[in-house]
Amino acid sequence: MRFAWIAGVMLAATAVVPASADVIYPRGLVRAPETLDPQKAATFNETPILYDLFEGLVTLDAGGRPIPGAAENWTISPDGRVYTFTLRPDARWSNGDVVKASDFVASFRRLFTPATGATETGPLLVIQNANAVQQGSAKPETLGVAAPDATTLEITLERPVPTFLLRLALPVALPVNVATIKKLGADFGSTGKIVSNGAYRLAAIDKKDGYILVKNARFRDAKAMPIDSVVYKPFESPADCVEAFRAKTVLSCPDVPTETLQDLRGEFGAALRLAPYPGTYYYAFNTTKKPFDNIVVRRALSMAIDRPALASAVWSGAMIPTETLVPAELSGIPAKTPEPIEIRRAEARQLLEAAGFGAAPEAVAPEATPTKETAKPADIQAADIQAPDAKSSDSKSTDLKPADTKAADAKPSTVEPSAVEPSSVKPDGAPANAGKADPADGKEASQEAKAADTAPAGEVSDKAGTEATKHEDEPQSAEASDSQSADIKVAEAKPAAPAGPQPLTLTIRVGTGMGHEETARAIAAQWKAISVEATVVTEPNAAHFARLRDGGDFDVARTGWIADEIDPIDLLTVLRSDNVRFNYPRYRNPGYDQLLDQAATEMDMDKRLKDLNTASAMLAGDAPILPLLGYVSLSLVSPTLGGWQDNPRNVHPTRFMTVN
């Protein structure tokens, strides 16, 4: 496929572009990269370019699976702490220099040197002395990385980490040529002067046409790669990229505007890709408060939810229904087909009856004057649920990845919740790299941001200053809210105390965000079918997550998590007994914690996955949370582009693709 305008720019930009470079892939980006220095990159915008330009010891294939990269093989010591890599003898930098083990030593030392200002070191802080070097209390030479000879690299860890090889496939672990950086300057990542070791090299950065990459002729598989060049074209918003895709000036877009998802599905059909993303949108039960300390009540409430209807009516299909915290793509356990919802609700009614709750009264209570707190009775019927009004939500935080991490484009160390915004639909705003606290790795990220920014299709981004129904002068805590509303009287006759078991009443706290409120109202409407009366309460997101984190009062509350590391333990660790920061349900189960402890150091991957799945099943049985929806990544992919494989990492290296 020929794109004359791109070819012209390439030929003008560099005299070394192959004359036969006629297989060109014009690739859309949402927003321009901030840097092409992999050690300083912090947004999803940079990830695809970095994977094309650089190759780590371990890399990813077309399906996002780890495979040998710059290292052709490796061994792991019996105690799981020492990794010995053998580099490929034919590996070359784009300037012709041999890729040596000492280059990786220098690159890792630069990564942890405080002056570098690296942003995503968390996953690699398990390397011996890495934390001390980064804190400035140890010299870079003490880092647990050594080169016994030109093709042998040894990495020593502080402790066994079963997922260390996966971490080496992250962008932060990509090598940089330190020797040339000293010549080109520290800002080399923002110029066109880059020496890299990946499948492609940077030919030029053009203000109009973007980032022009051509085959690295010295890369081992260069002759077998179908695409000669890839041109990354940045756009200000997903909608702009969609327009270019419609005009056939790009062959793919890494994201689409969720508020027009239904229209896009109708227009583009199979070209619109929705791929599961490693994160879950869920509600937390306050397991320290009656009646939510009763597992029977929690199970009944979970059974009554029609998740497919929720995903369709509120999120327009931009989220997928789930009943588990760990996505099937990570656990390896296929999702079960649920029983018909009426059968589930009949059982839920029986469970509530067994727990001492009765049916809702037939009579309609007189309308009461609302309090100053933004509590909203959920009086809509399931049939009345509508998708949120379409509003501009192009400013996704990290998109998805759930709570925000790096402001709008944070990318996960893998990817994290508070910002959830990667092309993934962590509903508009799931933090990609939000930043969870990983005591072992020294990683502290704002997961609240991830969850706070996730919003469904049509939701106005919280970052844009939208606050659903709370006023800025309203209280930030439940106590304040209760005290302010105490003087508001309801003018109505006090009815006689009813006899017999009463229906369960509860509040759903959602923070703010139209999509979150719509979700809560839909759930409240569904719970009416089992005689549960739910009231939706909003408050600023900062106050919402502070309440959950600091042990404030609540019944049921909205939250979510997107994994930094594509591994079940990343999600399951959120609910450990000792995770005081993010264990919002206040779940306590020593057996669950023990299984996670075992999995944290188990090097037998089959046994480890079995332990993690056992822990996941234990969690599902105890039901401290109510899993509702799974995040997805959204992409537009032309039918003329081959080799694009949907995967949880949402990674698609150009070298494995074709243009027909």
Q: Are 134 and 100 in contact (CB under 8 A)?
A: no
Q: Are 269 and 286 contained in the same domain? A: no
Which one, of 549, 188, 254, lies nearest residue 398 by Cα?
254
pLDDT at residue 500, rounded to an integer: 81
CATH code, domain with 348: 3.10.105.10
Asked if the structure places residue 553 within a domain, the reply is yes
Which residues lie closer than 8 Å to 310 by C-beta, 6 or more apart?
321, 519, 522, 523, 526, 628, 629
Asked if the structure places residue 599 within a domain, the reply is yes
Asked if the structure places residue 598 within a domain, the reply is yes
pLDDT at residue 494, rounded to an integer: 54
Q: Are 509 and 579 contained in the same domain? A: yes
**Distance (Å) of CA 86 to CA 94, 230, 338, 374:** 20, 30, 48, 61
pLDDT band at 374 (very low <50, low <70, confident <90, very high): very low
Which one, of 186, 167, 166, 190, lies nearest residue 178 by Cα?
186
Asked if the structure places residue 94 within a domain, the reply is no
Element (H, E) at 130: helix 130-135
pLDDT at residue 628, rounded to an integer: 98
pLDDT at residue 83, rounded to an integer: 98
Q: Would you say residue 248 has pLDDT above 80?
A: yes
**Cα Rg of the chain (Å, integer):** 26
Question: Which of 273, 300, 326 is a domain's end point?
Answer: 273
Q: Are 203 and 286 contained in the same domain? A: no
Q: Are 319 and 215 contained in the same domain? A: no
pLDDT band at 362 (very low <50, low <70, confident <90, very high): low
Q: Would you say residue 582 has pLDDT above 80?
A: yes
Strands (E), 306-438: 320-321, 375-377, 424-425
Range of the domain at 612: 279-358+503-632
Asked if the structure places residue 482 within a domain, the reply is no
Q: Are 634 and 255 in contact (CB under 8 A)?
A: yes
pLDDT at residue 63, rounded to an integer: 95
Q: Are 620 and 540 contained in the same domain? A: yes
pLDDT at residue 152, rounded to an integer: 98
Cα-based torsion angle of the residue sequence 301, 303, 309, 314 in order, rounded to the nearest 10 degrees: 30
Q: Would you say residue 5 has pLDDT above 70?
A: no
pLDDT at residue 455, rounded to an integer: 37
What is the count of structural domains for the chain? 2
Integer Cα distance of 603 and 162 in angstroms: 5
pLDDT digits (tens, 9 = 90+) for 441-490: 333 333 443 333 333 333 323 333 322 232 223 333 333 333 333 333 33
CATH code, domain with 210: 3.40.190.10
Q: Are 218 and 309 contained in the same domain? A: no
pLDDT at residue 495, rounded to an integer: 56
Q: What is the mean pLDDT of residues 112-124?
A: 93
Integer Cα distance of 135 and 130 in angstroms: 9
Of 35-49, 62-76, 529-543, 642-656, which range is least confident? 35-49
Q: Would you say residue 555 has pLDDT above 60?
A: yes
Asked if the structure places residue 332 within a domain, the reply is yes
Which one, of 153, 154, 107, 157, lies nearest residue 127 by Cα?
157
Q: What is the mean pLDDT of residues 575-602?
A: 97
Q: What is the mean pLDDT of residues 170-198?
A: 85
pLDDT at residue 233, rounded to an integer: 97
Question: Which of 245, 273, 301 is a domain's end point?
Answer: 273
pLDDT at residue 209, rounded to an integer: 83
Asked if the structure places residue 29 within a domain, the reply is yes
For the chain, the average pLDDT equals: 81
Enter the pTM of the model.
0.77
Q: Are 540 and 625 contained in the same domain? A: yes
Q: Are 627 and 508 contained in the same domain? A: yes
Q: Are 301 and 337 contained in the same domain? A: yes
Q: Are 266 and 296 contained in the same domain? A: no
Element (H, E) at 83: strand 82-87
pLDDT at residue 498, rounded to an integer: 65
Cβ neighbours, 10 Å, residue 127? 24
Q: Would you say residue 18 has pLDDT above 60?
A: no
Out of 152-166, 352-366, 450-464, give the one with best mean pLDDT: 152-166
Residue 119, SS3 per DSSP:
coil
pLDDT at residue 428, rounded to an integer: 34
Asked if the structure places residue 574 within a domain, the reply is yes
pLDDT at residue 359, rounded to an integer: 85
pLDDT at residue 423, rounded to an integer: 32
Q: Would you say residue 288 has pLDDT above 70?
A: yes
Q: Are 454 and 346 in contact (CB under 8 A)?
A: no
Q: Are 239 and 296 contained in the same domain? A: no
Q: Are 314 and 515 in contact (CB under 8 A)?
A: yes
pLDDT at residue 191, rounded to an integer: 64
Q: Are 297 and 217 contained in the same domain? A: no
Question: Which of 273, 290, 305 is a domain's end point?
Answer: 273
